[in-house]
Amino acid sequence: MDVISVIRTKRDRGRLSDEQIDWVIDAYTRGAVADEQMSALAMAVLLNGMDRAEIARWTAAMIASGERMDFSSLARPTADKHSTGGVGDKITLPLAPLVAACGAAVPQLSGRGLGHTGGTLDKLESIPGWRASLSTEEMLAVLDGVGAVVCAAGDGLAPADKKLYALRDVTGTVEAIPLIASSIMSKKIAEGTGSLVLDVKVGSGAFMKSLEDARELAATMVGLGTDHGVRTVALLTDMSVPLGLTAGNALEVRESVEVLAGGGPADVVELTLALAREMLDAAGLKDADPARALADGSAMDAWRRMIRAQGGDPDAALPVARDTHVVTAPASGVLTGLDAYAVGVAAWRLGAGRARKEDAVQAGAGVELHARPGDPVTAGQPLLTLHTDTPERFDYALEALEGGFTVSPAGTGFTPRPIVLDRIS
C-alpha cells in the first residue's frame, strides 16, 4: 500500500477500498503519510466525495486510531451536542450547564476555531485560569460533581481526527461533507455519550450553504451515530445572519453569561432552549423544564461550578481589545441584510480566528452588532463595532464587510428565517 495510489484513486473519482482507508488513516496517524499528501487526499475527497460505505469505514478507522471513553459509572444519563460551526455560535456555553441543571451529564468535547467560524475552546480560554485540557479522570470528576464539562478531546481519543482537523482548517478542505461527518462522529462515538444532538448550520455563515447539503450531512451523521448505538438527532438551524449580537471570543462569553442570567438576545435563548429540550428528551428526561432552569438561576449556578472546576474564575473581568472601530449606517431605513460569512471573516481577520494551525487568537477581538435585520436604522448610527489589539487589521476586516450589510428604504418588508429549519432523526 502506498499513499500515491490512494490519492490517485480518489483523484480519479474511484472508490477507496476498506484496506486503503484503514491503511491511510493509520499511516497518517503514525506520521508515515506527510501533511501535504493528506492535504491532497482531503482535496480529492472534497471534489469527488465518498459513498456511504466509504464514510462509514473512514469513521471507523478514525475511531480505531485511539481509545474509547466510558461514562457508565455516572449516575446521570449522558447527552452531548455538536454544532457544525457558525458565526456567533456560542450556544455550547449556556447549553451545557443548562442541561446539567436539568439532570443530565454533558461530556462536551469541543474544538478550536475552524476557518471563519469560532471555536468553543478559544472562547472559554478568554476566562482567566480556565483549562481546556483535562485528563480522563479529571473529566469524570467534573461530570460527577457538576454535571457538565467542556474540554478538548484527549490525545488518545481519535488522534487521526485531531491531526486532520487542524490540516483541513488551513488547506481549504473544511467543507467536505464526508470529512465533516467522519470528524464529528468519530469523536462523539469514541467519547461514549449515550445520546447526541447535532446542530447543523445552514446559510452563508455555515459550511453548508443549502438545505439540501445540510440534510445530506445531517442524515449521514445521524446514520453513523445510530449504527454505533448512539441515539442521534439533528436540527438544521439558520446561519444566514450571525447568531446573537457578538462574534469573537470574550465577546461571546459575555453574551452567554447574559443568557444564563435570564437575558441575552432572543435568538440565542430560543436555540439554546430548543437544543436543551432535544438533549433532555434523548436522555430520557422528558419532564425537565430548561426554561425554568434559566429563570430560577440554577443554570447560572451550574455554569459557575463548571468554570471553577476547570480552574477558571467566573467573577474575573474578561479581556477587552485595545482598539475599536465603529461602522455606521450609510443611510436611514431598515437593515434588511447582514451576511454571517462577511461578519465571520471580519472577526477572523481582526484576530478572533487563526490563519495557520499554530496561530494564537486574540481573546478580545471580534465584531459587536448594534442592529439585526428588520431593525430600523438612522444614517450615521453605529451598526458594528470592530475590536482588536492590532489596529492595522481594521482595513483588512473592513474589506470583508464590503457588501455584507444592506440598508433598504423605510417601510421595506422583512421576513426573518426561523431559527430551526428542520429536524432529522
Average pLDDT over residues 24-31: 96
Quick check: helix, strand or coil at residue 108?
strand
| CB of 134 closer than 8 Å to CB of 65 | no
147/93 Cα distance (integer angstroms):
14
| CB of 386 closer than 8 Å to CB of 325 | yes
Name the burial class of residue 147, with classes exposed (0-12), middle (13-18) and buried (19+) by CB atoms within 10 angstroms of its CB. buried
Which is higher by pLDDT, 346 or 116? Answer: 346
SS3 content of the chain, % helix, strand, coil (to 5): 45, 15, 40
Query: pLDDT tens across 91-143, in order?
Result: 999 999 999 999 999 999 888 887 788 899 999 999 999 999 999 899 999 99
Cell of 414: 422583512
What is the side-by-side order of every strand in the sheet holding 246-248?
246-248, 366-369, 382-388, 323-328
Taking 70 as the threshold, does the pLDDT of residue 357 lie above it? no
Quick check: helix, strand or coil at residue 278?
helix
Query: pLDDT tens across 375-393, in order?
Result: 999 999 999 999 999 999 9
Average pLDDT in the chain: 94
Q: Determine the distance from the C-alpha atom of residue 125 to the mean position of all C-alpha atoms in its chain, rounded to a whole number.
A: 15
Show which residues are catalytic: 82, 161, 168, 183, 187
Which is higher by pLDDT, 159 or 170? Answer: 159
HSE-CB for 39 with a 13 A CA cutoff: 9
Query: pLDDT tens across 274-296, in order?
Result: 999 999 999 999 999 999 999 99
Query: pLDDT tens across 410-420, in order?
Result: 988 888 899 99
What is the bridge-based pairing of β-strands 366-369 and 246-248?
antiparallel
Query: pLDDT tens across 31-48, in order?
Result: 999 999 999 999 999 999
The fold of the 80-155+164-309 domain, in CATH, is Pyrimidine Nucleoside Phosphorylase; Chain A, domain 2 (3.40.1030)
Place of cell 447574559: 258
Cell of 64: 480505531
300/64 Cα distance (integer angstroms):
38
pLDDT band for position 169 (cuts 50, 70, 90): confident
395/393 Cα distance (integer angstroms):
6
- Between CA 255 and CA 248, with CA 341 as vertex, the angle to 5 degrees is 30
Q: What is the pLDDT of residue 22?
A: 98
What are phi and psi for residue 388, nearest 5 degrees?
Answer: -165, 160
Q: What is the pLDDT of residue 112?
A: 82
Quick check: helix, strand or coil at residue 324?
strand
Taking 80 as the threshold, does the pLDDT of residue 156 lie above it? yes
Query: pLDDT tens across 297-341, in order?
Result: 999 999 999 999 999 999 999 999 999 999 999 999 999 999 999
Q: What is the pLDDT of residue 186?
A: 93
pLDDT band for position 262 (cuts 50, 70, 90): very high
H or E segment to which residue 109 belongs: strand 106-110
pLDDT band for position 166 (cuts 50, 70, 90): confident
What is the residue extent of each domain of the chain? 3-49, 80-155+164-309, 323-408
Q: Say if domain 323-408 classifies as CATH 3.90.1170.30.
A: yes
Cell of 335: 437593515
253/255 Cα distance (integer angstroms):
5
From the candidate CATH numbers 1.10.3720.10, 2.102.10.10, 1.10.357.10, 1.20.970.10, the one assigned to the domain spanning 3-49: 1.20.970.10
